[in-house]
């Protein structure tokens, strides 16, 4: 039996090669899991960071002692910094790769597109992410290394331990700098607003009983971050912290 | 030519076993050397293609849809029957057999129906194993409901989407075979001709609906599972692209057409709302389990339903058929609806509608229970009509739904052309003159999963088939013919659109060959259809070209076939001078207005053999013997 | 009422397309959206123009053939409704509507509003089934299925494969479609033996076809005519992640003697 030459060709030429060993990260779901875990690290850090920074309201002694304490245990400080940097790098690499894949998946857009069920925050992750990356660079140069700080103080110049309280007050006394920080915190709020819920979805955790609570928690965390972090420059500008 | 139904010997419960034992087997190692073409991917075609692939045959599967999952089986709502007797209410294979023969008004082949009832049990098991999410009881066991015309609960269902879930089961099995390489799928191909070589079916001619290319494919056997021809009525519950082209072109190549006039009108559809209407939507007849059908007692009563007191309502089915009430078979329910509307007691803006009222059930069971049972149907009704059936009674009217007729096949599902097998709604076999609710899915899957895969093996093992390729003269002739027809349709460039012809044909069919027929009307319709066909070939306007996606061209070819089939349906209806099941000839009715059979002269299936263009087809007869279920006047009183 | 349409017209897969303006002067509120297009096509045919190609079949919202984007929303403004079931009573006189095909790399436009969705079939072929051949399976009641599991499986199994989820997703991700099948089979006992393989195979195929990644934004469930929840996507992620870490190296076992 043979099929004639005029017979049509089969549909479905492409198929998954299941014989290959799994490359977990190769899959978009794997990349999303990496983004979720690194995002969780990031979100945990920004919350802890905010709580630490809020000590500025307890006065220079407490704040600077906190800074000193961190510098007294280099394994802790550098360990944390390494984890954070790796997480950040992975988060960014995965985001860039996914964004490229997503752009290829929709080469031509719609003349008209109306959102039907998504939040503003979720649709702007691709914008809020890069903005936050830029902010992080500035923030590190500003308050960590002091390169971008016009008036950087050390509480222990020999061991190059910065004086966070003075640096914060000096830094935020400039209204332009404060504005940049406040704007960045709005962007952070948006990013966390979606990200802190979305990461659970990416990791496969969704349950009708708990997910609404998780979503509320994510929203609450994002608003808390906005309020807490913006309180500092505003307090400096208002002269409450000086 | 004689029709040999090849009914196996032995007592009825042994016939299928005997047949299976008598059939030759194909050596497993040789199966892949046989190529089988399956056209259509609904419950019948899809399940057949998957099963043949599993068995090791080389299967080529064609569908006019973009994906096998879109076949119209997907729209079946209510359920699938099986003689499982899970409810311990006295069901059995014999009872399902009995009910089906009786429901079909004694115009089906007993042996086929018995086999169908036997296999029904396996179908449920097979589908459950595939992951079909049938409804379950709280204890985890399968749930059942009773369904139009049955006094036992033997219908299995998946909400109101049973057809969808069964089809997806078959589709997934088919995709598994496609992945495994045993089935090659050719979507968006329309079958335009059957290749017959030395009197044996050896292939199909198809058109690639994207590129317009004609393709000839040859094989060792051809299976048609291309569904029914209800779309001839233009307005029907069929999908818009359902068509008769595959079976009609096979008919023109010599496959006899069985009982073309046996069409089923479904009683519970949403009434027509206007001239632009493109299709009718069926509401599952499971609704009749909990809804009560009524019209006002008085003619021309235009009060809103809530203002009509109980005493002024006529629950006509409950009144006339006290033991079956609202659950009488489809043909009886439909005809009664027509009767009350013809009396001027119809409801709704057109007067062609009756109420299906859930108020009593909602009071008794609560709205939540009703929502659980019929939620998606209620939603669909509201979407289409803009009325809320929880507070207002639904309005329903009968619509064409299913065609019991189709290509004639023997017990082994082979048509009068050797090597051409026909399964599911496309054949004529198991339902007689009327199909019971929840039996179509059963038949499609029985044919595809459990009957054809055996019988086709016997055919292949016992036939000597020459090796061929698509350059054979018959294949080339088929290609040329299909091309010629297409060029002709495109070349007419007349004034009327394809749809306008289709609509006009549909009106004749509905008017004269619909729920009630008479000799005068049928003869009139024959003349009208012939005139319309002449006009079609002079005045149709098919825009666009042949070598591209051209939906007008696709429809034109189908309507051209409907214009021929319509005449055959009228001829068959005219020649069957009796009433039976869905075929109601006004001249033959009991004093109570029920269908009056003529068992002496018409206890047979009529199969029409094409004699060439312009010639009257020959009417062959397959006598039906009823050894187990004795024909009686159906009574649902 | 009068409706103004801007319809995407594209001759074939390779042609450039553009939006073309049409007026539909006599639209009845009882018409379905597709019936309005039928009327437009009859007018175009009468003028000798090429009618607008759009896919449709059952016209009762179950076959999954139809669908295009109306003013930026897949299947139009009514939640849980396919375009064939969308009636004109939801629009008003003078409305101006933009009709565009599903847009995704994996869904090339074939003509006008028609796209090629065969990628979905290949995703199913990559594992969206239970490997059971026709034969003699156990009795249907042999494995009890808790009613709630059967219901949830049914919720997911309702997917009609229309592709609206892909069309609505800014990333053109097929996650909702794929996860509906992963969930449907993963919730039933019959689907357990291949649960991990299924998730791996289908997720991989999704990427091979060129669909984007899920951003968890929820546009898909908002436009889904069967209201399939993104909870299914989480379930698919869970199955995939468990499977990815649990997958064992392939070991050849000896054959029969």
Q: In which region does residue C9 sit, left (phi positive, over 0), alpha (psi from -120 to 50) or beta (all else)?
A: beta
In tens, the pLDDT along B274-321 reads 889 999 998 888 899 899 999 999 998 999 999 999 999 999 999 999
Three-state SS for C96? strand
C-chain CB neighbours of A111 within 8 Å are 6, 19, 98, 100
Nearest to B460 by CA among B25, B7, B18: B25
- Are C123 and C185 found together in one domain? yes
The answer to whether the beta carbons of residues B197 and B472 sit under 8 Å apart is yes
- Are B274 and B385 found together in one domain? yes
Q: CATH code at B385?
A: 3.90.700.10
- Are B395 and B270 found together in one domain? yes
Query: Is residue C152 domain-resident?
Result: yes
A-chain CB neighbours of C73 within 8 Å are 114, 116
Helices of type H across chain C: 33-46, 118-125, 147-157, 164-168, 175-186, 195-208, 219-223, 231-246
B-chain CB neighbours of A5 within 8 Å are 469-471
Q: Domain containing C166: what range?
A: 117-131+142-246
Nearest CA in chain A to C73: A114
Q: State how beta strands C18-24 and C3-9 pair.
A: antiparallel
In tens, the pLDDT along B345-359 reads 999 988 999 999 999
- Are C122 and C220 found together in one domain? yes
**pLDDT tier for residue B177 given thresholds of 50, 70 and 90:** very high
**pLDDT tier for residue B532 given thresholds of 50, 70 and 90:** very high
- Are C50 and C161 found together in one domain? no
Q: Which two tokens stand for residue A196?
A: 């802190």
**pLDDT tier for residue A13 given thresholds of 50, 70 and 90:** very low
Neighbours of A (≥3 Cβ pairs closer than 8 A)? Answer: B, C
Nearest to B219 by CA among B413, B456, B27, B467: B467
Q: Which two tokens stand for residue B271?
A: 């009434």
- Are B393 and B489 found together in one domain? no
Q: CATH code at C216?
A: 1.10.1060.10
Residue B623 has pLDDT above 90, yes or no: yes
Q: Which two tokens stand for residue C191?
A: 């689907």
User: What pLDDT score was predicted for residue B329?
Assistant: 83
- Are C15 and C93 found together in one domain? yes
In tens, the pLDDT along B388-447 reads 999 999 999 999 999 999 999 999 999 999 999 999 999 998 999 999 889 999 999 999
User: What pLDDT score was predicted for residue C29?
Assistant: 92
Report how many domains make up chain C: 2
Distance of CA B629 to the CA centre of its chain: 24
Nearest CA in chain A to C6: A111
Q: Which residue has the tokens 């729209």?
A: B75
- Are C173 and C189 found together in one domain? yes
- Are B274 and B390 found together in one domain? yes
In tens, the pLDDT along B54-78 reads 999 999 999 999 999 999 999 998 8
Annotated active-site residue B634? The verdict is no
Q: How far is C148 from chain B (nearest CA, A)?
A: 8
Contacts of C7 (CB under 8 A, 6+ apart): C19, C20, C22, C52, C99, C112, C113
User: What pLDDT score was predicted for residue A9?
Assistant: 34
Say yes or no for a CB contact (<8 Å) between C238 and A204.
yes
- Are C91 and C150 found together in one domain? no
User: What pLDDT score was predicted for residue B78?
Assistant: 83
In tens, the pLDDT along C239-252 reads 999 998 877 766 66
Last residue of one domain, picked from the residues B400, B419, B446? B400
Q: What is the mean pLDDT of residues B43-50?
A: 98
Say yes or no for a CB contact (<8 Å) between B548 and C11.
yes
- Residue A50 has phi, psi (to 5 degrees) of -65, -45
Q: CATH code at C72?
A: 3.10.20.30
Say yes or no for a CB contact (<8 Å) between B276 and C85.
no
- Are C150 and C229 found together in one domain? yes
User: What pLDDT score was predicted for residue B2?
Assistant: 87
Task: Report which DSSP code applies to C184.
Answer: H
User: What pLDDT score was predicted for residue C254?
Assistant: 58
In tens, the pLDDT along A199-212 reads 999 999 999 999 99
Last residue of one domain, picked from the residues B378, B400, B422? B400
- Are C180 and C231 found together in one domain? yes
Percent of chain A with pLDDT over 70: 90
The answer to whether the beta carbons of residues C64 and C74 sit under 8 Å apart is no
Produce one character per residue of C195-224: b if its CB has 16 or more CB atoms within 10 Å, e if not: bbebbbbbbbbbbbbbbbbbbbbbbbbbbb
Residue A18 has pLDDT above 60, yes or no: no
- Are C97 and C156 found together in one domain? no
Query: Is residue C98 domain-resident?
Result: yes
In tens, the pLDDT along B386-403 reads 999 999 999 999 999 999
User: What pLDDT score was predicted for residue C255?
Assistant: 57
- Helix then strand count (H, E) for chain A reads 8, 2
User: What pLDDT score was predicted for residue C253?
Assistant: 65
Rounded CA-CA distance A163/A173 in Å is 16
In tens, the pLDDT along C89-119 reads 999 999 999 999 999 999 999 999 999 999 9
Identify which of A27, A201, A203 has the shortest CB distance to residue C204. Answer: A27
- Are C148 and C232 found together in one domain? yes
User: What pLDDT score was predicted for residue A21?
Assistant: 38
User: What pLDDT score was predicted for residue C245?
Assistant: 82
Report how many domains make up chain B: 2
Q: What is the mean pLDDT of residues A9-21?
A: 37
Identify which of B51, B65, B128 has the shortest CB distance to residue C140. Answer: B128
> Rg of chain A's alpha carbons, rounded to an integer?
23
In tens, the pLDDT along B75-130 reads 998 899 999 999 999 999 999 999 999 999 999 999 999 999 999 999 999 999 99
Query: What residues pair up with B148 in beta bridges, in sequence order?
Result: none
Q: Which residues of chain C are modeled with pLDDT < 50?
A: 257
Domains of chain A by residue range: 26-102+123-237
- Are B274 and B377 found together in one domain? yes
Whether A100 and chain C come into contact, CB under 8 Å, resolves to: no
Q: What is the mean pLDDT of residues B129-133?
A: 97
Residue B151 has pLDDT above 90, yes or no: no
Count the residues in chain C: 257
Q: Which DSSP helix (H) or strand (E) runs through B39? A: strand B35-39
- Are B279 and B387 found together in one domain? yes
Q: How far is B83 from chain C (nearest CA, A)?
A: 12
User: What pLDDT score was predicted for residue B491?
Assistant: 97
The answer to whether the beta carbons of residues B327 and B288 sit under 8 Å apart is yes
Q: What is the mean pLDDT of chain A?
A: 90
Say yes or no for a CB contact (<8 Å) between B186 and A15.
no
In tens, the pLDDT along B211-235 reads 999 999 999 999 999 999 999 999 9
Rounded CA-CA distance A146/A148 in Å is 5
- Are B387 and B277 found together in one domain? yes
The answer to whether the beta carbons of residues B68 and B39 sit under 8 Å apart is no
- Are C242 and C122 found together in one domain? yes
Rounded CA-CA distance C257/C248 in Å is 26
Percent of chain C with pLDDT over 70: 96
**pLDDT tier for residue A17 given thresholds of 50, 70 and 90:** very low
Query: Is residue B194 domain-resident?
Result: no
Residue A14 has pLDDT above 70, yes or no: no
**pLDDT tier for residue B1 given thresholds of 50, 70 and 90:** confident
Q: Domain containing B342: what range?
A: 266-400
- Are C182 and C232 found together in one domain? yes
Q: What is the mean pLDDT of chain B?
A: 95
Contacts of B363 (CB under 8 A, 6+ apart): none
Tell me which residues of chain B have a C-beta less than 8 Å from any C-beta of chain A. 33-35, 58, 60, 178-179, 184-187, 189, 206, 208, 213, 215-220, 465, 467-472, 475, 479
Say yes or no for a CB contact (<8 Å) between A10 and B186.
yes
User: What pLDDT score was predicted for residue A191?
Assistant: 98
**DSSP notation for A100-138:** HHHHHH-SS--SS---SS--HHHHTHHHHHHHHHHHHHH
Q: How far is B247 from chain A (nearest CA, A)?
A: 21
Rounded CA-CA distance A180/A173 in Å is 12
Catalytic residue (one of B107, B202, B330, B412):
B330
Q: The complex's ipTM?
A: 0.97
Query: What residues pair up with C40 in beta bridges, in sequence order?
Result: none
**pLDDT tier for residue A11 given thresholds of 50, 70 and 90:** very low
Rounded CA-CA distance B141/B159 in Å is 15
Q: How far is C13 from chain B (nearest CA, A)?
A: 10
Q: How far is C245 from chain B (nearest CA, A)?
A: 25
Count the residues in chain B: 637
C-chain CB neighbours of B172 within 8 Å are 124, 128-130
Residue A119 has pLDDT above 60, yes or no: yes
User: What pLDDT score was predicted for residue B331?
Assistant: 84
User: What pLDDT score was predicted for residue B330?
Assistant: 84
Q: What is the mean pLDDT of residues A73-88?
A: 94
């Amino acid at each position: 039996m043979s099929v004639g030459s005029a017979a049509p060709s089969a549909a479905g030429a492409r198929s998954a090669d299941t014989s290959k060993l799994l490359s977990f990260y190769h899959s978009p779901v794997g990349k999303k899991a990496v983004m979720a875990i690194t995002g969780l690290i990031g979100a945990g850090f920004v919350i802890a960071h905010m709580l630490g920074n809020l000590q500025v309201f307890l006065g220079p002694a407490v704040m600077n002692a906190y800074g000193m304490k961190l510098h007294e245990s280099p394994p802790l400080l550098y360990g944390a910094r390494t984890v954070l940097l790796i997480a950040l790098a992975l988060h960014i690499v995965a985001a860039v790769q996914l964004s490229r894949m997503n752009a290829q998946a929709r080469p031509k857009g719609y003349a008209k597109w109306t959102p039907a069920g998504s939040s503003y925050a979720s649709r702007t992750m691709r914008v809020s992410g890069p903005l936050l990356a830029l902010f992080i660079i500035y923030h590190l140069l500003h308050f960590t290394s002091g390169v971008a700080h016009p008036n950087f103080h050390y509480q222990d110049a020999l061991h190059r331990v910065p004086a966070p309280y003075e640096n914060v007050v000096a830094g935020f006394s400039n209204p332009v700098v404060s504005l940049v920080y406040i704007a960045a915190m709005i962007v952070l709020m948006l990013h966390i607003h979606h990200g802190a819920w979305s990461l659970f979805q990416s990791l496969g955790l969704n349950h009708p009983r708990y997910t609404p609570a998780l979503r509320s928690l994510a929203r609450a965390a994002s608003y808390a971050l906005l309020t807490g972090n913006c309180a500092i420059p505003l307090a400096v500008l208002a002269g409450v912290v000086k | 030519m004689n029709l040999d139904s090849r009914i196996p010997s032995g007592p009825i419960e042994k016939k299928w076993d005997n047949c299976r034992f008598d059939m030759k087997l194909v050596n497993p190692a040789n199966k892949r050397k046989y190529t089988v073409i399956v056209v259509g991917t609904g419950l019948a075609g899809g399940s057949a293609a998957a099963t043949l692939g599993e068995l090791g045959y080389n299967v080529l599967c064609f569908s006019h849809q973009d994906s096998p999952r879109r076949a119209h089986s997907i729209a079946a709502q209510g359920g699938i029957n099986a003689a499982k007797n899970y409810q311990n209410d006295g069901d059995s294979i014999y009872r399902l057999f009995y009910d089906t023969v009786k429901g079909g008004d004694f115009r089906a082949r007993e042996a086929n129906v018995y086999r169908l009832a036997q296999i029904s049990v396996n179908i449920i098991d097979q589908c459950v194993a595939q992951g079909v999410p049938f409804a379950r009881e709280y204890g985890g066991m399968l749930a059942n409901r009773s369904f139009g015309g049955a006094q036992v609960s033997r219908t299995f269902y998946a909400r109101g989407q049973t057809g969808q879930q069964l089809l997806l089961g078959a589709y997934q099995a088919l995709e598994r075979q496609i992945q495994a390489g045993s089935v090659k799928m050719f979507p968006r191909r329309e079958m335009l001709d059957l290749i017959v070589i030395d009197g044996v079916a050896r292939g199909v001619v198809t058109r690639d609906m994207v590129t317009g290319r004609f393709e000839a494919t040859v094989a060792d056997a051809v299976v048609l599972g291309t569904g029914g021809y209800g779309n001839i009525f233009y307005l029907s519950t069929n999908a818009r692209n359902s068509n008769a082209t595959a079976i009609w072109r096979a008919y023109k190549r010599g496959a006899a057409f069985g009982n073309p006039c046996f069409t089923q009108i479904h009683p519970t559809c949403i009434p027509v709302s206007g001239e632009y209407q493109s299709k009718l939507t069926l509401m599952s007849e499971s609704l009749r389990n909990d809804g009560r059908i009524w019209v006002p007692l008085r003619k021309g009563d235009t009060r809103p339903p809530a203002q009509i007191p109980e005493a002024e309502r006529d629950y006509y089915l409950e009144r006339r058929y006290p033991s079956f009430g609202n659950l009488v078979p489809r043909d009886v329910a439909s005809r009664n609806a027509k009767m009350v509307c013809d009396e001027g007691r119809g409801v709704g803006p057109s007067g062609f509608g009756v109420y299906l009222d859930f108020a009593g059930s909602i009071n008794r069971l609560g709205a939540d229970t009703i929502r659980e049972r019929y939620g998606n149907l209620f939603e669909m009704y509201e979407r289409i009509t803009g009325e809320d059936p929880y507070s207002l009674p639904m309005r329903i009217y009968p619509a064409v739904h299913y065609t019991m007729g189709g290509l004639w096949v023997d017990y082994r599902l082979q048509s009068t052309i050797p090597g051409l097998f026909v399964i599911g709604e496309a054949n004529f076999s198991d339902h007689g003159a009327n199909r019971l609710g929840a039996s179509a899915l059963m038949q499609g899957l029985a044919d595809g999963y459990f009957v054809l895969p055996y019988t086709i093996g016997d055919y292949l093992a016992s036939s000597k088939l020459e090796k061929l390729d698509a350059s054979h003269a018959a294949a080339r002739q088929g290609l040329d013919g299909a091309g010629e027809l297409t060029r002709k349709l495109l070349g007419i460039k007349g004034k009327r659109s394809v749809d306008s012809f289709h609509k006009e044909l549909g009106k004749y069919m509905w008017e004269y060959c619909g729920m009630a027929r008479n000799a005068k009307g049928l003869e009139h319709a024959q003349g009208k259809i012939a005139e319309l066909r002449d006009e079609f070939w002079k005045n149709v306007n098919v825009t666009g070209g042949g070598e591209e996606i051209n939906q007008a061209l696709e429809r034109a070819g189908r309507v051209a076939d409907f214009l021929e089939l319509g005449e055959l349906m009228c001829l068959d209806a005219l020649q069957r001078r009796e009433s039976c099941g869905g075929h109601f000839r006004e001249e033959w009715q009991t004093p109570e207005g029920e269908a009056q059979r003529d068992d002496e002269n018409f206890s047979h299936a009529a199969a029409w053999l094409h004699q060439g263009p312009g010639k009257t087809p020959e009417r062959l007869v397959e006598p039906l013997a009823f050894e187990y279920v004795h024909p009686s006047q159906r009574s649902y009183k | 009422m009068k409706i103004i349409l801007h319809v995407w017209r594209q001759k074939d897969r390779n042609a450039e397309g553009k939006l073309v303006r049409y007026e539909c002067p006599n639209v009845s509120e009882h018409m379905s959206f597709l019936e309005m297009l039928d009327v437009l096509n009859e007018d175009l045919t009468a003028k000798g123009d090429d009618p607008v190609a759009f896919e449709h079949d059952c016209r009762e919202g179950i076959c999954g053939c139809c669908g295009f984007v109306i003013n930026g929303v897949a299947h139009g403004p009514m939640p849980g409704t396919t375009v064939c079931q969308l009636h004109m009573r939801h629009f008003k006189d003078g409305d101006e509507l933009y009709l565009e095909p599903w847009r995704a790399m994996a869904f090339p436009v074939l003509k006008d509003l028609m796209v090629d969705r065969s990628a979905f079939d290949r995703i199913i072929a990559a594992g969206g089934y239970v490997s059971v051949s026709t034969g003699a399976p156990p009795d249907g009641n042999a494995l009890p299925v808790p009613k709630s599991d059967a219901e949830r499986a049914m919720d997911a199994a309702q997917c009609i494969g229309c592709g609206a989820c892909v069309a609505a997703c800014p990333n053109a991700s097929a996650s909702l479609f794929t996860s509906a099948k992963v969930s449907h089979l993963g919730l039933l006992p019959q689907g357990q033996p291949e649960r991990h393989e299924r998730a791996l195979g289908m997720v991989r195929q999704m990427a091979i076809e060129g669909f984007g990644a899920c951003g968890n934004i929820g546009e898909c469930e908002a436009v889904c005519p069967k209201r399939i929840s993104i909870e299914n996507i989480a379930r698919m992620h869970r199955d995939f992640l468990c499977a990815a870490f649990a997958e064992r190296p392939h070991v050849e076992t000896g054959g029969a003697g």
